[in-house]
Chain A
Amino acid sequence: MSGGVDSSVVAGLMKREGANIVGMTMQLWNQRRLPELAGGESSGRCCSIDDVYDARYVAELVGIPYYVVNFEDAFEKSVVKPFVDDYLHGRTPIPCTLCNNFIKFDTFIEMAEGVGADKIATGHYARITRHAETARWELRRAVDASKDQTYFLFGLTQTQLARTLFPLGGMVKTEVRELAKSLELPVADKGDSQEICFVPNGDYKAFIEAYCREQNIPLDNMGGDIITSDGQVLGEHTGYHSYTVGQRRGLGVATGEPLYVISTEPETRRVVVGRETDLQTAAFTARDVNWISIPAIHAPRRAQVRIRNRHVPADATLSPVGDDTRVAVRFDQPQRAVTPGQGAVFYDGDLVLGGGWID
């Protein structure tokens, strides 16, 4: 229970259905750390005192036992460190997926089992079904396409799906808010959470720098040249970790035409820029692929592939490469800003076939 409307409604619904439930909030990050980051303990950041207050109040109203569980160590190890590390290695990470893989559907499921719960229910917008013949658990997109969170759930395994309930997957957000009102939950009008929960105001550059200072990770020598793909030096930057593939603004170089970040190269500390057309990519390889609704493919298969959360899945062909943890993806039409470190999720309509990390 995050203290937001979605998980609060889940608690209310489950209780109304007569389930024997326990409410839990995960304490993931100590907001007293990195005090130089602006924002303080305001709501809308993860684990803020206000949100815990709301979650606790909702649990009281719903009438269920409630606990805050401390996963700060696991969260730092499995989400925050890799997040910073990815940026320092020129990749653009998705911490929400890591959090789902290693915290919400791993550490948290283990905690739930530990206290005697058979299943966890969360406020994610996604659906879980089961194949009638094979009995394989399937993941499907949420009915509310604008809220669908399957992009961040591609790491879910059969064991995890078997233990998980997504009661909101079949609803649209307005229905959820209506339900919150009818359940008389005081969070019905609370805003949606935004951005990366542990990064205040979405300023990931400031977060990385503050975290590295705290951990004594040297951040000098991050600066280098801004160059074009044919090697022409256009200017200098002070840290490649503050550039993201596809970024246009804030490059600090003036040319006649709009320039975009094409890639960042940690070894040479170069940021490569180019025209928008240079951002188009037709093929890539996904690593650490997890197959969800189907077994690993051993022949090419058509799919729609999503390479960012807000990306409209594009028609592509998936091809096996002789290693079930990798798959070659070739789009019918080149796609903009295929970014190493981001997830690639394979769909067949609303069915999530699987996904992996863009290599």
Chain B
Amino acid sequence: MERYYFDHNATTPIAPAVIDAILPALRDGFGNASSIHQPGQQAKQALECARRQTAAFLNCSPKEIVFTSGGTEADNLAILGVPSGHIVTTNVEHPAILAACRDLDVTYIAADADGVVHPQGLRDAIRPSTVLVSIMHVNNELGTIQDIEALAFIARQAGALFHSDGVQAAGKIRLPLRSVDLYSISGHKLNAPKGVGALFVRKGVELRPRQFGGRHESGRRAGTENVAGAVALGAACDLRRDNRTIGALTDRLEKGILKRVPQTTLNGANAPRVPNTTNIRFAGIEGEAMVIALDLRGFAVSSGAACSSGAVEPSHVLTAIGLTRDEAKASIRFSLGLGNTIEQVDGLIEAVVASAAHLRRLSPVYV
């Protein structure tokens, strides 16, 4: 069966150029970047080349890049690595932020019904003891873009550091690195493999390591460097991205579904969104059933968050913006990316129309 992938916010396929870059790094560049001999130096060169590529992508200095094992580690490091004190974050963050904050002194700002965090909410939450504000740049479920410049300005005026989880923003929109102190990105959301990410740490920001060992990554992240991963991330940062085309495909999908399936609602409709994400609620439908039905027809989409068994739980983001559990369960996220075509989008619209009609015939909830 042909498979069509519409879940790029979960992970992305590895771009051919990234595979071309990573294979030599795996085959020939096996050296330990900390070794003094030539194989080690070659690995070090590859690592630093990747750091320069990543820095150019983020528009910062290579010295401000800490490679990590991924977005989660970058987020954890930002939250737990800064001096301790009061933290302000939001109720729509990724679990990598929320779980890291769990035992800390935290104030959660509520996003509005479209997933937007308002500056006044941040002003009200900040205290003299606030050391860090962490607000995601783009929401993974809704694609909502926060006004990071405005929010970061408030935080820094109050003397707090500002971190943003940019995992879902990188590669999709312009990044606000001039305004923030810390910024997380993840390789596998950018057409690089899993297992690599980076944290931007503005020069002068004090950051204690959260894992201990050698003095890798300027003493901020112990552990022999994942050179091949970094090379892949660097190559992914160099990719030319056609977000205009992806935006047009996403619009076509969104309009097609909203027009052809009755009783559908766009979640986060009134907020600015990244070009690749659309989150649609199908009144009375069990999203889980639609995800499986579409998968069996070859279309990969998502609903909610996977729990440890692999079952789906209602998205905490959707309930945080005021949806009921049932409404959250009736919502499907479509996220586009590299490789999607107009034919695939049209095929997906047909499959969604058919699946929604079939599920509603069965559903006693739908009237």
Cβ-defined contact, B359 with A114, below 8 A: yes
Contact B296 A116 (CB under 8 A): yes
Total number of B residues with any Cβ neighbor in A under 8 Å: 20
Is B289 within 8 A of A49, CB to CB?
Answer: no
Choose one: B289, B295, B313; the contact of A111 (CB below 8 Å): B289
> Interface segment, A66-74, A133-141, A258-266?
A66-74
Point out the residues of chain B lying under 8 angstroms from A110, CB to CB: 289, 362-363
Q: Are A69 and B325 in contact (CB under 8 A)?
A: no
User: Is B293 a contact partner of A68 (Cβ separation < 8 A)?
Assistant: no
* A326 interface residue (CB < 8 Å to B): no
B180-199 interface code vs A (CB 8 A; 1 in, 0 out) = 00000000000000000000
As a 0/1 sequence over residues 254 to 293 of chain B, the CB contacts with chain A under 8 angstroms (1 = contact) are 0000000000000000000000000000000010111011
Q: Are A73 and B309 in contact (CB under 8 A)?
A: no
**A113: interface (CB < 8 Å):** yes
Which of B311, B325, B363 meets A27, CB within 8 Å? B311
Q: How far is the CA of A152 from the CA of B257 in the complex (A)?
A: 43
In the bound complex, do residue A111 and residue B286 qualify as a contact, i.e. CB atoms below 8 Å apart? yes
Q: Are B362 and A114 in contact (CB under 8 A)?
A: yes
| Nearest A residue (CB) for B308 | A49
B292 and A67 within 8 A (CB): yes
B80 is an interface residue with CB less than 8 A from chain A: no
**Residue picked from B289, B308, B311, B325, most chain A C-beta under 10 Å:** B311
B310 close to A (CB within 8 Å): yes
Q: Does B358 contact A (CB under 8 A)?
A: yes
Verify if B312 is at the interface (C-beta below 8 Å from A).
Answer: yes
The B interface is mostly helix, strand or loop, or mixed, namely helix
Q: Determine whether B367 belongs to the interface, using a CB cutoff of 8 Å to chain A.
A: no
Instruction: Please judge, given known A-B contacts A47-B309, A49-B309, A110-B362, whether A69 and B296 are in contact too, CB under 8 Å.
Output: no
Q: Is the CB of B309 within 8 A of A27?
A: yes
- Contact between chains at A22 and B296 (CB < 8 Å): yes
A45-70 Cβ-contact flags toward B at 8 Å (1 or 0):
00101001000100000000101111
Main secondary structure of the interface of A (DSSP, over half): mixed
Q: How many A-B residue pairs have CB under 8 A?
A: 55
Q: Using Cβ atoms and an 8 Å threshold, which residues of chain B touch A68? A: 309-311
Q: Which of A52, A65, A72, A111 contacts B296 (CB 8 A)?
A: A65
Q: Does A150 contact B (CB under 8 A)?
A: no
A25 CB-CB contact with B under 8 Å: yes
Docked pose: A73 CA to B313 CA in angstroms: 10
> Considering only CB atoms, which chain B residue lies closest to A70 in the complex?
B311
- Residues of B contacting A115 in the complex (Cβ-Cβ under 8 angstroms): 289, 292-293, 296
The complex places the Cα of A221 from the Cα of B35 at a distance, in Å, of 72
Q: Bound complex: CA of A68 vs CA of B319, how far in Å?
A: 22
Which residues of chain B have C-beta atoms less than 8 A from A67's C-beta? Answer: 292, 295, 310
Contacts of A69 in B (CB 8 A): 288, 292, 311-312
Residues facing A in B140-154 (CB within 8 A) are none
Task: Flag if A114 contacts B311 (CB, 8 Å).
Answer: no
Distance in angstroms between the alpha carbons of A25 and B288 in the assembled complex: 13
Name which residue of chain B comes closest to A41, CB basis: B308
Nearest residue (CB) in B for A65 is B296
Shortest beta-carbon distance from B305 to chain A in Å: 10
**Beta-carbon contact of A114 and B293 below 8 Å:** yes
A145 to B293, CA, bound (A): 38
List CB contacts (< 8 Å) of B305-351 with chain A: 307-313, 325
| A52 CB contacts on chain B under 8 angstroms | 309-310
Contact with B along A12-36 (1 / 0, CB 8 A): 0000000000100101001000000
Give CA–CA (A47, B311) in the complex, Å: 10
Scan residues 103-141 of chain B and give those whose CB is less than 8 A from a CB of chain A: none
Q: Is the CB of A113 within 8 A of B362?
A: yes
CB-based contact B313/A70 at 8 Å: yes
For A30, list chain B residues within 8 Å (CB).
307
The smallest beta-carbon distance between B76 and chain A, in angstroms, is 21
Q: Which of B289, B309, B312, B363 has the most CB of A within 10 A?
A: B309
User: Which residues of B are found within 8 Å of A70, using beta-carbon distances?
Assistant: 288, 307, 311-313
Bound together, the chains give a CA A87 to CA B293 distance in angstroms of: 39
The answer to whether A56 and B293 touch (CB under 8 A), given A70-B288, A114-B358, is no
Measured between alpha carbons, how far is A356 from B359 in the docked complex, in Å? Answer: 31
**In whole Å, how far is A126's beta carbon from the nearest beta carbon of chain B?**
25
CA distance A56 to B308 in the complex (A): 13
Smallest Cβ-Cβ distance to B291: which chain A residue:
A67
A116 CB contacts on chain B under 8 angstroms: 293, 296, 358
* A65 and B295 contact, CB distance less than 8 A: yes
Bound CA–CA A56/B311 (angstroms):
12
Interface centre among A49, A67, A114 (most CB of B within 10 A): A114
By a beta-carbon cutoff of 8 Å, the part of chain B in contact with chain A is 286, 288-290, 292-293, 295-296, 307-313, 325, 358-359, 362-363
9 A-B pairs closest in CB distance: A114-B289, A27-B311, A70-B311, A68-B311, A68-B310, A52-B309, A115-B292, A115-B293, A114-B359
Known: A27-B311, A49-B308, A69-B288. 15 other contacts (CB 8 A): A22-B292, A56-B310, A65-B296, A67-B310, A68-B310, A69-B312, A70-B311, A70-B312, A110-B362, A111-B286, A111-B292, A114-B286, A114-B358, A115-B289, A116-B358
